Amino acid sequence: MDNIGYINVVLETFGALFSLLVVVFVSVGEHEPDRSRASLVRLLVCNAAVLLCDACSWLLEGSADPVGRTLMELTTFGMFSLSYVRLALFTDYIAASIAARGQKPRAGTVRLMWAVCALAIASVAVSLLNGMFYRIDAQGMYVRGPLIGLSHWFGALFILINGWLLARYRKAFTVHELFVLGLCVILPAVALALQQAFYGISFLNMAATLVAILLYLGVQMEQERAIHQQTLELERCRARLAMSQIHPKFLFRALDAIHDLCAADPPAAKEALRELAVYLRANTDALSCTRPVPLSLELAHVRSYLALERRCLGDRLTVEYAVDTEDFAVPALSLQFLVERAVQRRCVGEASRGSVRISAQDEGRSWRASVRDVDALPLPGGDPIPPPAQTGDPNAFTLEGMRTWVALLQGGTLETGDVPGGTVCSIVVPKGGGR
């Protein structure tokens, strides 16, 4: 094997190892099942197999013994056949990426690619018999056949279909994504033209290595975009949740109650002011809270809020606690949001009365913190919390917003349901699943 052969082996081995490393990178970590991610993994594994087959074929070239010659025939056949599979898998990856972005590519395009792939592989199998694409001579050397150009035309057809698919659904991608995928189509096209003109240098497999690098960069860009979107959503949830806790009606009621206490019971007024300060400080601190808080801290905030509501509502509000454990964390203001929602639902009218039950349990694989409200007529409309809903505030925080907040911050869920005479909302946090 000459120097060019050794260069090909080194480059192809590097490309195969890089592809497998990207497979590991894409496969590990926390992410939802994704068809485009699975398609990318299959594409990169196939690419690694093609590169390794061609590297082995270069190393085995010139082996005159029957075993070496047989191995070279197998690796060469594998390189040709898997090259077509690789192109079809790239089509499948593009189609999956389009579908992941809300559009539905034509299923016939992918089926056509696989049909062409099957025809191309069948042609390679025929070439083993008649040598129309290539043959291995008695000295174990690779020799191009008279119809080698036909094998390249199969590749050209794949590239044209992939280019059409990208152009047809270009609006599904961002400019950066379209640029990366476009290069993944253009590079093999250029390499195919060079491969047709020059013999001995694996332009196509070098292009495949560059495509693997580009796809890796594309995955990095996609993950950065997803992280950015998640961060923005967390910030929106945090701001809306904090603002939803500061209602003018509640503050007016609390200040009126404190005003009345100043003359009737000054020590109680002082305590009420402390409770209001604790409540408002917790809301302010939540704006900068990026991690779940201990349940004990969240319960302290809930107690300060309920103490103020009890001063305003008197015996119209009954509170019950059934906290079996505090050894876990919940998103900041999450339990407070559910408690305030329950109070607003049950004690909004002058003559209404209500009961709120707060509980926390260890369920084995998860923890559960629940708020149950009963004993009064439900508020028409329910969600969002009445003051924002009544003013038409577009930033009103709803149960759906809380569900997003819990899922993004902790990987948990928000469960809601009806109970006799009321409703129950539960924050379920998986053990070991906090983010």
Per-residue pLDDT, 209: 83
Q: Please give the angle made by the CA atoms of 270, 300 and 393, to the nearest 5 degrees.
A: 90
Per-residue pLDDT, 202: 78
Per-residue pLDDT, 370: 92
Per-residue pLDDT, 428: 92
Nearest to 246 by CA among 186, 300, 286: 286
Nearest to 215 by CA among 50, 99, 45, 53: 45
Q: What is the enclosing helix (H) or strand (E) of 383?
A: none
Supply 90's token pair.
């790239």
Per-residue pLDDT, 33: 58
Per-residue pLDDT, 287: 65
Q: How far are the Cα atoms of 204, 205, 216, 416 from residue 345, in angstroms, in the given order? A: 67, 66, 51, 15
Q: How far does CA 115 lie from the centroid of its chain?
A: 32
* Beta strands 413-419 and 422-430, pairing class: antiparallel
Residue with tokens 């094998």: 151
414 in Cβ contact with 402 (< 8 Å): yes
Q: Is the pTM of this model over 0.75?
A: no
Per-residue pLDDT, 189: 87
Q: How far apart are CA 87 and CA 95, in angstroms?
A: 13
Supply 195's token pair.
């491969």
348 in Cβ contact with 329 (< 8 Å): no
Question: In a 10 Å sphere around its CB, with 0-12 CB exposed, 13-18 middle and 19+ buried, how is residue 155 labelled?
Answer: buried
The 3-state DSSP class for residue 102 equals coil
Nearest to 418 by CA among 381, 387, 378, 385: 378
Per-residue pLDDT, 247: 61
Regions of the chain short of the pLDDT cut 50: 376-395, 434-435
Neighbours of 60 (CB within 10 A): 22
Strand ranges inside 92-170, DSSP E: 134-136, 142-144
Per-residue pLDDT, 378: 44
